[in-house]
Structure 1
Amino acid sequence: MAYRAPPTELTKHVSRLLKGKLLKKPPTWFAAVQAVPPGPSVIRAQNTEVNIAGQTNAEKQFGQANRLPAHSINRHKQKNLKTRAPKPRPIVYPEDRLRRQFYKDHPFELQRPKLLVETTDGINRTNFSQLLLDGMHPAQVDGETVIKYQLHLMVSQNMTERQAYAKATSEFYEIRAQEEEEKRLAQSKIDSVFNALAAKKQTERTLQREEKAIAEALKSMTQ
């Protein structure tokens, strides 16, 4: 199989062939490639130092856990002649770690029904300064809302992960208790209405029996 030089080394490879008289004349493209050399490979040239200038403190903190230390990379280069296959860098979001912890402690939140149909009444929430905003129903607060609220506390109020988690979950429990209380009140109202209807029907049946008994008595008296 013929040697395939990388694009950046192509002109040097052709120059060596010309000096060794393996090529009689340079190719047509040789002058153009020398004037405008190709850039490095975007796929294989991976920058070990990632630009994190636009990241928040929480994103930097969570990103450090998934980054290989420099000494391990150098040790691999010294001990192994074969280079690693190029792999894309992992995409890490700060919410991933918070999400794993929350649903580990609250697995039943995953069983709550979700509305997947988008309508004009849908809420595209971007404000997480409070867990329950004005005008929101307690049922609209779910696990993802708690995770976003916890991240907001860590970024804007400089809370630690544990402090933000404790504050977010405590408010979440209060909202869930409020939702359950509203459900109990609604159920008690429904039960009272149905009981009243059932009692009314029973009264009507009793009156019908009395009227039937009176009619039969009058009929027997006339006979």
Structure 2
Amino acid sequence: MRGRQIRPARLVQNVQEELKRTVMGSDKTYKPPWLNIVSSVPPSETLVRPIPTQHTAVSGSSKAKKPRNIYRPQKIVYLEDKLRATFYKDHPWELARPRIFLESDGKDGQRCDWSKGVRQPGMALTGESVVQRQLYLMEVKNMSQNKAYDEARKEFYRLRQADEIERRVAVEEARHVGAYFGMTRGDVGMKLEDQEFENWKVWAGKETAARQAQAASEVETFDSNDALPDEDADLVEMTEATLERGA
């Protein structure tokens, strides 16, 4: 059995020593981006696997205290996940709305003041607005989950209805002065569906005719005028001759 490998444990020291050396005097040596992190949080040097941090409280039952999956990392669960799942379960079509996942510096969420309502400046009205507003009402206003959900949902409905009315009025005003918008997305979808249905009717007609022709060809028909094979004809003549002799 091989001994312990200590080379990975000295990786940080080796890299730091190499950075101090100047092999090429004119060339600048750059520090690896992972060096500071590994230096501040070094890997474990013991062979004993540590037990991960328990994020959830263990109940007093005997089954929960059994050593089962104690070395598996615990699942990190946030309250927003449950609220988000509830909202999109009740409003599945909100997932079909296009969204822009773009942040300037990654701190856009810190600029939102959810005490002023669901609508936030510089942020589109989505289901995430309802989730954050509901979370604020639960943590700051001490509302229950259902009451906070109803409050945030009603604000969302009013703003969404106002947006729809504003959009409809803008379209009517533009058409009044001669603007033409063409077919909507629903009209385009219906047109494509009608085309596919017509293609299916043509294909179904051809398949039905082919199956009827195949079924008709498999049915055998017999005619009294059809000529019998030679062996069958000889057998018939012998039978007739035998009957005549017996008579």
Q: Distance in 2 between matches of 1:42 and 1:185?
A: 69
Task: Select 1:45's aligned residue among 39, 46, 51.
Answer: 51
Deviation at residue 127 of structure 1 after TM alignment:
1.5
Which one-letter code corresponds to 1:141 in the other structure? L
1:192 aligns with 2:176: yes
1:33 is aligned to none
Q: Distance in 2 between matches of 1:159 and 1:110?
A: 27
1:220 is aligned to none
1:170 aligns with 2:154: yes
Q: Distance in 2 between matches of 1:43 and 1:131?
A: 46
Task: Select 2:59's aligned residue among 69, 84, 95.
Answer: 69
Deviation at residue 131 of structure 1 after TM alignment:
1.1
Q: Distance in 1 between matches of 2:96 and 2:177?
A: 31
Find the structure with the greater CA-based Rg.
2
Gaps in structure 2 of 5+ consecutive residues: 5-43, 180-247
Change (3 A) 1:94 1:42: farther
Spell out, residue by residue over 1:123-145, the C-alpha distance to the aligned partner (whole angstroms, 9 max, x if none): 65431112124xx48x8211001
RMSD after superposition: 3.5
Task: Select 1:106's aligned residue among 91, 95, 111.
Answer: 91
Gaps in structure 1 of 5+ consecutive residues: 5-37, 51-62, 78-82, 196-223
2:187 is aligned to none
Please list, as runs of the form range in 1=range in 2, the aligned pairs for 1:24-35 lying within 5 A after superposition: none
Q: Distance in 1 between matches of 2:174 and 2:134?
A: 37
Deviation at residue 189 of structure 1 after TM alignment:
0.8
Q: Which has the higher contact order (CA 8 A, sep 6+)?
A: 1
Which one-letter code corresponds to 2:51 in the other structure? A
SS at match of 1:140: coil
Deviation at residue 41 of structure 1 after TM alignment:
7.6
Change (3 A) 1:191 1:101: same
SS at match of 2:100: coil
Task: Select 2:76's aligned residue among 88, 91, 97.
Answer: 91
Q: Distance in 2 between matches of 1:167 and 1:42?
A: 51
1:128 is aligned to 114
Q: Distance in 1 between matches of 2:80 and 2:113?
A: 16
Count matched residues: 136
1:156 is aligned to 140
Which one-letter code corresponds to 2:59 in the other structure? P
